[in-house]
Amino acid sequence: MGYLPIILALLGFVFLWAIVNYNSIKVKKVEVELASRQVFQFASLRNTIIKRMANIVHEDDTLQKIVGQVREQLNELTTDTNSTQEKIEAEKKVTQSVNDIPEGYVKNSAYSEAYHQLQLAQNNYQKAASVYHKRLKEYHELLNRYPSKMVAKVSGFKPVSA
């Protein structure tokens, strides 16, 4: 009779620990999914701004040519068919092309407002991509740490595939 309360207390502690660990893993997975959605949203916003810039008529052929080249780099990968890692890899070309647009050409032109919006969208996309990588790393670390690893296996949590 003397060991029963001790055993029940230990089992209760282990059960509560497992519940807290399960919720931690679940929250990290939701954070990864939200960060993934943000990557796709900001990439889509940036693509929309680039398409709008490509439709602006301007007397400077050089600038129109540069914006046209950036537009050719766009991809329309969606969450339904591609992973976030594939999207980020595909967006690297667009990011480089956006960075190659000379700021001096854009000032005092029809592109200036759209270019400012593009820079904001570009910054937001970069932040979203870095947050996604950070959240993904935290999630995988949580799944690979020993005590949480047991709960993850029992609960069926898997690493997010790249």
Which pLDDT does position 146 carry in this prediction?
A: 83
Give the chain's mean pLDDT.
81
Q: How far is CA 6 from CA 2, 3, 20, in A?
A: 8, 5, 21
Among 14-28, 63-77, 128-142, which is the least confidently predicted range?
Answer: 63-77
Domain regions of the chain by residue span: 32-154
pTM, entire model: 0.79
Instruction: Give the model's confidence band at 56: pLDDT under 50 very low, under 70 low, under 90 confident, else very high.
Output: confident
Which pLDDT does position 130 carry in this prediction?
A: 93
Mean pLDDT of 13-40: 92
